[in-house]
Amino acid sequence: MDLRNTDEGTHKSLEQPLNSSLSLVRRKLVLRDTLTFLTLSLVVVALYAVTSFLFRSFEAHREALAVRWASRGEVLLKNGKPDQAVSALRTSLSFAPDDRPRQMLLAAALAESNRIDEASNYFLNLWESQPGDGFINLQLARLARRKANTSQAIDYYRAAIFGSWPGDAITRRRDARLELSDFLIQTGDLASARAELLVAARNAPETLDMDIGFGDRLLQAHDPSDALFYYQKGIARDPRNLTALGKAAQLTYDTGQYALASSLAFRAARLEPATVAEESTRTALKTIAANSERLLDLSLERDLSPRKRTEHLLTASSIARKRIESCIAANTGNQTTVPPELISLKNSWTEASSKLTRRTLEEDEVTQNRLTQLIDDTEIQTAPVCGPPTGDDALLLLLANRRHTAAQ
């Protein structure tokens, strides 16, 4: 026990100076490490200050170069030198790669210089970061259209319509939709084109130009009834507008609505022309008016009263008989043989004339129809042999062709 006590005493007496020297070492180490990190912090601060200063100057220099090359590119693009604009804009972007307007400009320059794939790739990269951007989608749609990639073009057009547009978004979206409808008409997808046009028309501002524009596009999309609706809407907005009246008159004339065509054409023809072009339009409309009037007189439609239809049939018969006779005579005079179908027609006329009286014709609808058919056949079959008809024959041929098409 004594020995142990002695040992402990020795241990304690040794521990005290050891502990004090250890804590001295510890203090020295802590001081040294603190100084080390303080020095390193100062180095970092100094280095950061120098780097920041240099970087600001560097960035300013790069920005100046970027602006200089971008404006050069813009000028070149405006001057119709897209190839040179591309390299100038590329140089500009090498100094300021994230400048979005310049990226757009470069992509547009690429597209303009017919580097379709490059432009597509460029816009696709921009699209990647902003897939909802209306402008980028519209550009991609146009490029896909140029690459004849129909489905992709339609997808991008739709994305452009529903995309975001800075500023006048409504106008941009409508323009994109109209461009899509033009594209759909071009590809022959008329039903989709009509749908797009009707949606666009319902959201369009109420102006005469819009009405006429939608009328024109709907007509291209083979939708004459809606086209007429918009022309008439335009006429209602401005009853003295020669363009609207003229287009509506022409449309109604082409679709066989001769009464309406006549009325519209007469209204248009009464207007005072302001320009030479309007004068020529007015002249054409006068012809439409006259033709429409005459076509109403020559109409052989079944919805006419029996008496009126009989009168029209007799007039038309007389014209058609003269046509076949003159045609046969003209061919007989030459050394060519008269085509057998004309001979057959002539025989049919001889046979019909022998039985034909006003009374029988008025009372028998079957005979009316047969005679109508004979008139139509005469005008249709003489045209290739004796040349295009003129005057009443031309109008009868028009009616005949219309009936023929409707029957098919």
Partner 1 sequence: MESPPKMTIAGKDPQESGGVVQPAMREERLFLLLSIFIGIISGLLVVSFRMAIEWLSVLLLGSAPAPHQVRLLIAPTVAGIVIALLTRFVFPQVRGSGVNQTKAALYIHNGYISIKTMIGKFLLSALAIGSGHSLGPEDPSLQIGAGVASKIGRSVGLSRERLRMLAPVGAAAGLAAAFNAPISAILFVIEEVIGQWTAGVLGSIVLSAVSAVVVARWFWGAQPMFRIPSVTLRDPRELLAYAVLGVVGGVASLFFAKALGYLRPKLRGQPQWFQMMQPALAGSLVGGIGYFGLPYVMGAGYGAIDQAMHGQFAFKMLLLLAVFKIIATTLSFSSGTPGGMFAPTLFTGAMLGAAVGSFENHIFPHLTGSVGSYALVGMGVLFAAFLRAPLTSVFMVLEVSGNYSIILPVILANTIAYLISRSLQPVPIFEVFTHQDGLYLPSMEEEREDSHLRFEDALLPVSAPILQGSETIWNSMKIVGQHKEIADAPAVLVQCKDGAWYAAKQQELQTIFAGIGNDSSHAEAGLTLEERLGPERTPLMFPDQMLSSALPYFRRWPLIPVSNRAMRGALEGVLSLEDVLNRYQRQ
Residue whose pair of structure tokens reads 């100084």 in the numeric block:
35
Inter-CA distances, 36 with 22, 29, 30, 119, 295, Å: 21, 10, 10, 55, 107
Cβ–Cβ under 8 Å, residues 228 and 258: no
Compare residues 81 and 286 and give the one whose CB is closer to partner 1: 81
User: Does residue 127 interact with partner 1 by CB under 8 A?
Assistant: yes
Instruction: Return left, alpha or beta for 339; rule: phi > 0 is left, psi -120 to 50 is alpha, else beta.
Output: beta
Task: Select the residue interacting with partner 1 from 6, 8, 14, 25 (CB under 8 A).
Answer: 25
Residue 10 in the binding site for partner 1 (CB under 8 A): no
Window 70-99: residues binding partner 1 (CB under 8 A):
87-88, 90-91, 94-95, 97-98
Distance of closest approach, residue 110 Cβ to partner 1, in angstroms: 8
Which of 42, 47, 277, 394 lies at the binding interface for partner 1 (CB under 8 A)? Answer: 47
53 touches partner 1 by CB under 8 A: no
3-state secondary structure 93-131: HHHCCCCHHHHHHHHHHHHHCCCHHHHHHHHHHHHHHCC
Q: Are 109 and 86 in contact (CB under 8 A)?
A: yes
Q: Of the two residues 26 and 322, which places its CB atom closer to partner 1 in the complex?
A: 26
Contact range with partner 1 by CB under 8 A, out of 23-31, 301-309, 339-347, 359-367: 23-31
CA distance 207 to 193: 21
Q: Does 113 bind partner 1 (CB under 8 A)?
A: no
Token pair for 274: 């302001």
For residue 121, state whether it binds partner 1 (rule: CB under 8 A).
Answer: yes
Examine residue 37 and tell whether it contacts partner 1 (CB under 8 A): yes
Told to check if 220 binds partner 1 by CB under 8 A, we report: no
Q: Of 106, 83, 110, which Cα lies nearest the Cα of 95?
A: 106
Answer left, alpha or beta for residue 389, where phi above 0 means left and psi between -120 and 50 means alpha.
Answer: beta
Tell me whether residue 45 or residue 343 sits nearer to partner 1 (CB atom): 45
Residues that bind partner 1 (CB under 8 A): 19, 22-23, 25-26, 29, 33, 36-37, 40-41, 43-44, 47-48, 50-51, 54-55, 58, 61-62, 65, 69, 87-88, 90-91, 94-95, 97-98, 110, 115, 117-118, 120-122, 124-125, 127-129
